[in-house]
């Protein structure tokens, strides 16, 4: 990755990703899926309210509505919440 005209490599450790899959009971792991993604970390010293807590809250509400209403999606939906998206910071 280029950063301020310098080539750098990022190595993350001790971070967490959270994955949830909503699908019908007869779906297979190899079925084409829809990915919904947001990160739950924020820059150091930031409350992260706009980056990306609003995304996480929106996706959690979609998950809640999907499961509470018993809606079965026509293809699997994978919800991914990833950490360590922000450069130079870890959760």
Whether 67 and 22 have beta carbons less than 8 Å apart is answered as yes
90 has pLDDT over 60? no
For 41-89, the pLDDT digits (tens) are: 777 677 666 677 888 999 999 999 988 998 999 999 999 998 877 665 5
- Cα 61 to Cα 7, 15, 58, 65, 89, distances in angstroms: 39, 24, 5, 6, 27
Residue 40: CB atoms within 10 Å: 19
* Residue 32 and residue 75 in contact, taking contact as beta carbons nearer than 8 Å: yes
CA 68 centroid distance within chain: 21
| pTM, full prediction | 0.73
């Amino acid at each position: 990755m280029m950063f301020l005209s310098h080539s750098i490599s990022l190595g993350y450790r001790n971070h967490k990703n959270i994955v949830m899959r909503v699908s019908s009971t007869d779906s297979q792991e190899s079925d084409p899926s829809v990915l919904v993604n947001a990160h739950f970390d924020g820059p150091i010293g930031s409350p992260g309210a706009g980056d990306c807590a609003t995304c996480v809250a929106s996706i959690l509400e979609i998950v809640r509505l999907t499961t509470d209403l018993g809606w079965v999606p026509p293809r699997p939906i994978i919800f991914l919440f990833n950490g360590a998206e922000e450069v130079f910071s870890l959760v």
